[in-house]
Amino acid sequence: MTRVAIGGTFDPLHDGHEALISRAYELGKDGEVVIGLTSDDLARRRVHPVADYRVRKRELNRYVTDRFGILPEIVTLRDPYGTALTEPFDYIVVSPETRPVAEKINELRRKRGMPEIEIVLVPFVLAEDGTPISSTRIKNGEIDPHGRLIS
């Protein structure tokens, strides 16, 4: 059975996140997708305020259920690596921004004598202005979750 890992804060959930999640479910269509969602403690380390874990989890559940017709498996990330250091996974789906975390996961897995996880890179989804959609840009009021310019 194919196992796919993906992780993030997902606040607010935007088209870039949706591209990552969609790719994870494509890869895991005959298996299992595990979504790591950052805990409130881990999320508080970000530069901008982040919605409560329960709110972010509810939005992820809604999106995955509406889009793929299944209730997602969501685990709490208390550190950047989550269960990727202890459980078997075939793929880890990342953006260019999160690729270094996946590379670190594989480094730590090698040191533990575990097989590497294949890193699947999903390119940034670009906003109308040609720059990546990001939660920071959305929270700063530059763009909406679909990358449309606000102003």
pLDDT at 46: 75
Task: Please compute Rg for the chain using Cα positions.
Answer: 15
Mean pLDDT confidence for 68-94: 96
pTM for the model? 0.95
Instruction: Estimate the share of the chain in helix, then strand, then coil, as percent rounded to the nearest 5.
Output: 35, 20, 45
Q: How many CB atoms lie within 10 A of CB 8?
A: 25
Q: What is the pLDDT of residues 10-43, one digit of tens each?
A: 999 999 999 999 999 999 998 999 999 999 999 9
pLDDT at 57: 98
Mean pLDDT confidence for 56-82: 96
DSSP H or E stretch at residue 23: helix 15-27
Q: Which domains does the chain have, with CATH numbers?
A: 3-125 (3.40.50.620)
In what side-by-side order are the strands of the sheet with 118-121?
73-77, 32-38, 3-8, 91-94, 118-121
Q: What is the dihedral of CA 16, 100, 61, 1, to 10 degrees?
A: 110
Q: What is the pLDDT of residues 99-121, one digit of tens each?
A: 999 999 999 999 999 999 999 99
